């Protein structure tokens, strides 16, 4: 007998929801929303972008400490400073993931990031699951 397919819900509300002009959540509001998302059975909660501000880092840290069932993710660019801050904020998590993003077109790699395609392949996490969002893939 085969195992039925399972949909994994990866919610970005706590980070991507703040992209709307004039909208932002304070730390207690983010924590309350993370608890609500957990109650809904969300599998992965992207709690924030820790390098963006001390408040965002603190929100990720508090969510990681308080919400235990889902994987808690933090967004980071592929720079050491971003990844280190994300890892620091995620330390209290039962299960965590650093969700990175970077440009992947040859133009962006050479002009924006100043790295080669081989250097891009070598950027990976050591202790945590690492997922990568590829920006401008079609260019």
**Per-residue pLDDT reduced to its tens digit, 16-55:** 877 778 888 899 999 999 999 999 999 999 999 999 999 9
pLDDT of residue 128: 46
Contacts of 23 (CB under 8 A, 6+ apart): 17
The verdict on residue 4 lying in a domain is no
**d(Cα 27, Cα 105) in Å, to the nearest integer?**
36
For residue 2, tell me if it sits in a domain.
Answer: no
C-alpha–C-alpha distance, residues 124 and 127, integer Å:
10
Q: Is residue 124 part of a domain?
A: yes
Could you give the angle at which helices 54-66 and 80-90 cross, rounded to 10 degrees?
A: 40
Give the number of domains in the chain.
1
Q: How far is CA 48 from CA 4, 40, 103, in A?
A: 32, 19, 20
In a domain, 3, yes or no: no
Q: Is the model's pLDDT at 122 over the cut of 70?
A: no
Cβ-based neighbour number of residue 92 at 10 Å: 15
Q: What is the pLDDT of residues 51-102, one digit of tens each?
A: 999 999 999 999 999 999 999 999 998 888 999 999 999 999 999 999 988 7
Residue 107 pLDDT more than 80? yes
E-assigned strand segments in 20-115: 44-48, 71-77, 96-103
The reported pLDDT for the residue numbered 133 is 57
Give the pLDDT of residue 55. Answer: 94
Is a pLDDT exceeding 90 seen at residue 104? no
Looking at residue 71, which CATH number applies to its domain? 3.20.20.70
- Structural domain including 113 reads 10-135
Other CB atoms within 10 A of residue 87 CB: 18
* pLDDT over 70 (residue 136): no
Domain assignment present for 24: yes
Alpha helices in 12-53 (DSSP H): 13-16, 27-39
In a domain, 97, yes or no: yes
């Amino acid at each position: 007998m085969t195992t039925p397919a399972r949909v994994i819900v990866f919610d970005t509300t706590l980070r991507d929801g703040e992209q709307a002009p004039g909208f932002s959540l304070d730390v207690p509001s983010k924590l309350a929303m993370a608890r609500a998302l957990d109650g809904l059975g969300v599998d992965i909660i992207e709690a924030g972008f820790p390098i963006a501000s001390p408040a965002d880092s603190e929100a990720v840290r508090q969510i990681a400490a308080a919400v235990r069932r889902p994987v808690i993710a933090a967004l980071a660019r592929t720079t050491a400073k971003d990844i280190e801050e994300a890892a620091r904020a995620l330390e209290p998590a039962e299960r965590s993931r650093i969700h990175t993003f970077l440009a992947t077109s040859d133009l962006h790699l050479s002009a924006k990031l100043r790295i080669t395609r081989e250097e891009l392949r070598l950027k990976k996490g050591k202790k945590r699951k690492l997922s990568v969002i590829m920006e401008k893939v079609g260019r």
